[in-house]
Each structure stands twice: as C-alpha cells, then as structure tokens.
C-alpha cells in the first residue's frame, strides 16, 4: 500500500477524525483481522452478528496501528468515524488505485472458474512485473478492496477477481479498480436463486465489459452465447476464445494424462505452441485459454504464455487438489464450492482419470462423494437430479450422497439405467466416513465436492489423515 495520511483517508471516505493527528500516515496496509495489524497499519472495525470489531480497537492501537476506521468513537484510540465501514474501505481502495498511474488492472468474472483463472493470470504475469492478486476467492465488497489496497507504486498488474450476487455489484467493484482488460468466463447457474434467471446473471456479469477503460480489451468466451453477446456492450477491442469458429484463441489436440491434466496445442497470435497443464480436469483448458487471451492483451508473447501455462500450479486450496494416500487410494479434494457446471466438470475429470488408470494399471474404481449445491432456487431438485443421472452416464462406479439437500442426486442416479447398490445416501459426514473406511480399496479414486457451506473439505482431510496414521 502507498503511504496515505489520515487527513487524505478521512476526505476520501467522508469520515470524521477523532483523536487523530491529520498528518499521521498509514503505510503498513489495511486489515479487518486485528491479529494481523502491524505498526503503521489501519484497522477497519466491522460490527458483525457474532463479533464486533470495535472491541478490538484498543488492542490494535496498542499494537501500533496508526488509526482505525469505525462507525463510532472508541475512547483512547485514534479513529476515523464513518457511517458505513464497508463503503469506506471501498472508497479508500479507490483513492489508492487512482494514485497508481503505472498499474494495469485485469478484471475477471464468471459463474465458475474465476479463482482458477485468476491464479493462472497472476502466475503468468508475475515474471514480467510485480503482480497483486487475491488470496483464494476474496472477490466481494470487502475482499476485493482489501486486495486492491495491497498494490503500491511498484505494482504493475492487479488481477481483480469479481463476484456478484446482484445486478450492480460488478459495476461497484469496477469503480474501485477500473479494468484495462475485462474478462467474462461464462454464465451458469451459480447464485441463480438470487438472480432469478441466467439472463439476469448475464446482465450482471456483462457489467465487467461495460467498465473496460478506453483503449482496453474485452475477453469473451465464444462458446457461451450469453457471453459472446456481451461484445455489443463495449466500444473497445474484443478477443474471443474457445472452440467456436470465430474464436482467435484456441486449443487443439487435447489429451489428458493419468492425473487428469490436459496437454494441448495452443493457437494464439498466429502461432502454435505445446502446453502441458499442471492443473486437473479438461475444463482447465478453457480457463487456460481465457488467461492466455488476457495476458496477451497486456503484452506477453505466445511463447511466454505457453511456457507459463505449462508451469503454473493450483494456487488456491480445495480446488481439484489430488492427493495419493500411502495405501494407493487417490483423494480429489474439490470441496471449496459447487454449482451444476463445476460439479459436471469435476465429474468428467474424475471419469477421465479413472479411464486412464484402468487402461494403464487395470485399477481405478471411481467414487463421487457429493453434497448439496446451494443457491439454486426453484431449480434445486432438477439440478441435483441431473447430477445423479450424469454420474451414471459417465460410468462412475460408486456414488455417495451426503445430506438431505443433496438427496435428489441419489434419487436421480438410482432412477437412471440399471443402477442400484452403486449409489448410497447418508445423512452426515460421520456416516460417510464410516462407509468409505469399510469400502475403499487400493487404486480407488475419490472425488469430494459440495457447496462451501457444507464443509466437505473436512471429510477429504479426514480421509487423508486416517491413511497416514
């Protein structure tokens, strides 16, 4: 973060200085976790349902914080008092970004694949200039400005992942970090319970393209009609990626290895280069093409991009993490979140890994361990049922469904074809763990996936820890 005086901060956020020297400087970053504050930092106190950050203001003052942004004065502590802490942190980030003329912002959004693509873009750019990107999925009205505030005068690239639950959310985030490059991955069913329809989701995601700065570039998925149509929402340059004939960034000769990692020929800028991804699943090819188009727009060459894609790794946890147990069982922890599109992609990756291993070793029984997908609204039962039927069609050998919210997955699988005992339903993770303990065999490949609120990452961790004891 660049050094900013308390007077500048108060002016930017519309706050009142209480017990603060206006000339005092914040130069050690902004935190909402009091445990992370260092001397010269700024603490933002949020009053939540369970924890009120104002209670920690005296402690951060003692730890050397220059000032705290609060919604009420705290006796004995320097504060900038505001009406809305969330709005204030956004305004502060906007102030900092406006003072970084050498910074290029690459903004991206989509219903799925945002974090994986963000991680790819950041790794591609890092060798060519100091790069800031969110840790994990910090893409909302708090996480996004906190990431932006990490940029300083040396930063050349800010990779800004942006999520949305309402029309207008991305417009708000883009006002904080106006994108030179705007990327939309897809329009799926994630948060459809909030939006009401995919068309409404497309309206929200397309706000990224409307925000692209003059002289910038819009990067669009040629294979998603709702995304490709967003070209009409900008007067700036448009680059299309995908399989469609009009796409100029393409992949051919895609093949998966025994870990489900894709190799392919990248077609970019009139050149062809071999790429071997280190991330798991054929769906990662689409993420790689999107990332390639985005970084080419800021000056990287096709050769540099192909080399970077072949060395980039999965940087965010619980996203298609592949772990081999000592007893020969493979656990794929993809439990960070789930929506219909991401579950389908994960299941296809699981099936591909199973087929490759069966061909190579004669073993590779596949297990799909699935929990509920959230925020699907009226399509909840239909979407879960469809996932169960897909498990059968992909010839995945075993299905274990956890929790009442996911029961339709089990029912869909049971009604599809001749499936019977291959699918099981349990109410809890403890029951799931007990069943898996009894039935897992050497060579089995187990996918664990559900929406974040379910916490199935704990099951994946338990499966790994037990085998190492």
Model confidence at 106: pLDDT above 90: yes
What average pLDDT does the segment 380-390 reach? Answer: 95
- Give me Rg for the CA atoms of the chain: 24
Phi, psi of 458 (to 5 degrees): -65, -35
Could you tell me the two tokens for 131? 């790069």
Tens-place pLDDT, residues 443-454:
999 999 998 889
Residue with the two structure tokens 């772990």: 323
What pLDDT is attached to residue 137? 73
**Number of CB atoms found within 10 A of residue 450's CB:** 28
Distance CA 241, CA 264 (A): 15
Asked if 402 contacts 428 with a C-beta cutoff of 8 angstroms, the reply is: yes
Domain 100-311 in this protein, CATH class: alpha beta
Confidence at 421, pLDDT banded by 50, 70, 90: confident
Distance CA 441, CA 443 (A): 6
Confidence at 48, pLDDT banded by 50, 70, 90: confident
SS3 261: strand
Confidence at 67, pLDDT banded by 50, 70, 90: very high
What pLDDT is attached to residue 325? 93
What pLDDT is attached to residue 387? 96
Handedness of CA 433, 435, 439, 445 (dihedral sign): negative
What average pLDDT does the segment 349-374 reach? Answer: 90
Say how far residue 24 (Cα) sits from the centre of its chain: 36
Asked if 312 contacts 278 with a C-beta cutoff of 8 angstroms, the reply is: yes
Closest listed residue to residue 226, CA positions, set 185, 196, 193: 185
What average pLDDT does the segment 186-195 reach? Answer: 80
Handedness of CA 75, 79, 81, 87 (dihedral sign): negative
Tens-place pLDDT, residues 283-305:
899 999 999 999 999 999 999 99
What pLDDT is attached to residue 452? 84
199 Cβ contact list (under 8 Å, min separation 6): 226
Closest listed residue to residue 99, CA positions, set 12, 2, 226: 2
What pLDDT is attached to residue 341? 86
Distance CA 332, CA 349 (A): 10
What pLDDT is attached to residue 135? 82
Domain 4-83 has CATH 2.60.40.10: no
What pLDDT is attached to residue 89? 97
Distance CA 278, CA 406 (A): 31
Distance CA 234, CA 349 (A): 35
Confidence at 85, pLDDT banded by 50, 70, 90: very high
Lowest mean pLDDT among 140-144, 189-193, 459-463: 189-193
The percent of residues above 70 in pLDDT, for the chain, comes to 99
Lowest mean pLDDT among 243-257, 284-298, 367-381, 409-423: 409-423
Model confidence at 455: pLDDT above 80: yes
What pLDDT is attached to residue 467? 65
Model confidence at 469: pLDDT above 60: no
CA distances in angstroms from 217 to 36, 97, 108, 220, 240, listed in the order given: 37, 19, 12, 10, 11
CA distances in angstroms from 54 to 61, 66, 69, 75, 79, listed in the order given: 11, 15, 9, 11, 10
**Number of CB atoms found within 10 A of residue 253's CB:** 9
Asked if 445 contacts 364 with a C-beta cutoff of 8 angstroms, the reply is: yes
The whole-chain average pLDDT of the chain stands at 94
Confidence at 468, pLDDT banded by 50, 70, 90: low
Lowest mean pLDDT among 56-60, 272-276, 360-364: 360-364
Phi, psi of 236 (to 5 degrees): -90, 175
Domain 321-468 has CATH 3.90.190.20: yes
Closest listed residue to residue 166, CA positions, set 185, 137, 192: 192
β-partners of residue 154 are: none
What pLDDT is attached to residue 196? 81
Phi, psi of 85 (to 5 degrees): -65, -35
Tens-place pLDDT, residues 317-334:
878 888 999 999 999 999
What average pLDDT does the segment 73-94 reach? Answer: 97
Q: Where are the domains of the chain?
A: 4-83, 100-311, 321-468
What pLDDT is attached to residue 319? 82
381 Cβ contact list (under 8 Å, min separation 6): 408
Distance CA 162, CA 335 (A): 20
Model confidence at 187: pLDDT above 70: yes
**Number of CB atoms found within 10 A of residue 305's CB:** 25
Closest listed residue to residue 122, CA positions, set 151, 81, 160: 160
Confidence at 165, pLDDT banded by 50, 70, 90: confident
């Amino acid at each position: 973060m660049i050094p900013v005086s308390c007077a500048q901060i108060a002016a930017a956020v519309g706050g009142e200085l209480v017990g603060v020297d206006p000339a005092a400087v914040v130069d050690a970053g902004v935190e909402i976790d009091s445990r992370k504050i260092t001397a010269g930092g700024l603490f933002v106190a949020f009053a939540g349902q369970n924890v009120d950050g104002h209670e920690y203001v005296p402690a951060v003052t003692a730890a050397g914080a220059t000032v705290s942004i609060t919604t009420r004065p705290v006796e004995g502590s320097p504060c900038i008092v505001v009406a809305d802490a969330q709005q204030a942190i956004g305004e502060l980030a906007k102030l900092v970004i406006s003072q970084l003329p050498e910074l290029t912002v690459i903004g991206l959004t989509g219903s799925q694949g945002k974090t994986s693509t963000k991680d790819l873009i950041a790794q591609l750019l890092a060798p060519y200039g100091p790069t800031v990107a969110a840790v994990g999925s910090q893409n909302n009205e708090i996480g996004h400005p906190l990431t932006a505030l990490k940029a300083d005068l040396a930063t050349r690239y800010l990779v800004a992942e942006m999520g949305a639950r309402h029309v207008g959310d991305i417009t708000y985030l883009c006002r904080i970090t106006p994108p030179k490059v705007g990327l939309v991955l897809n329009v799926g069913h994630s948060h459809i319970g909030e939006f009401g329809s995919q068309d409404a989701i497309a309206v929200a995601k397309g706000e990224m393209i409307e925000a692209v700065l003059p002289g910038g570039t819009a990067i669009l998925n040629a294979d998603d009609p709702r995304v490709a149509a967003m070209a009409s929402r900008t007067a700036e340059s448009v680059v299309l990626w995908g399989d469609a004939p009009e796409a100029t960034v393409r992949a051919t000769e895609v093949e998966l290895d025994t870990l489900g990692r894709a190799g392919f020929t990248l077609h970019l800028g009139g050149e062809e280069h071999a790429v071997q991804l280190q991330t798991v699943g054929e769906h990662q090819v689409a993420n790689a093409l999107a990332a390639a188009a985005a970084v080419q727009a800021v000056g990287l060459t096709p050769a540099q991009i192909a080399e970077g894609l072949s060395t980039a790794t999965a940087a965010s946890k619980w996203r298609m993490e592949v772990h081999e147990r000592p007893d020969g069982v493979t656990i794929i922890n993809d439990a960070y979140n789930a929506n219909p599109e991401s579950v389908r992609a994960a299941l296809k990756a699981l099936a591909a890994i199973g087929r490759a291993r069966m061909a190579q070793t004669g073993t590779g029984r596949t297990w799909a361990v699935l929990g509920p997908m959230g925020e699907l609204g009226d399509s909840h039962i239909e979407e879960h049922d469809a996932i169960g039927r897909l498990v059968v069609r992909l010839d995945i050998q075993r299905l274990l469904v956890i929790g009442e919210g996911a029961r339709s997955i089990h029912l869909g699988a049971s009604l599809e074809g001749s499936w019977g005992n291959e699918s099981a339903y349990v109410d809890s993770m403890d029951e799931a763990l007990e069943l898996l303990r009894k039935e897992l065999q050497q060579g089995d490949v187990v996918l664990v996936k559900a929406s974040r609120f379910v916490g199935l990452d704990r099951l994946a961790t338990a499966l790994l820890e037990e085998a190492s004891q």
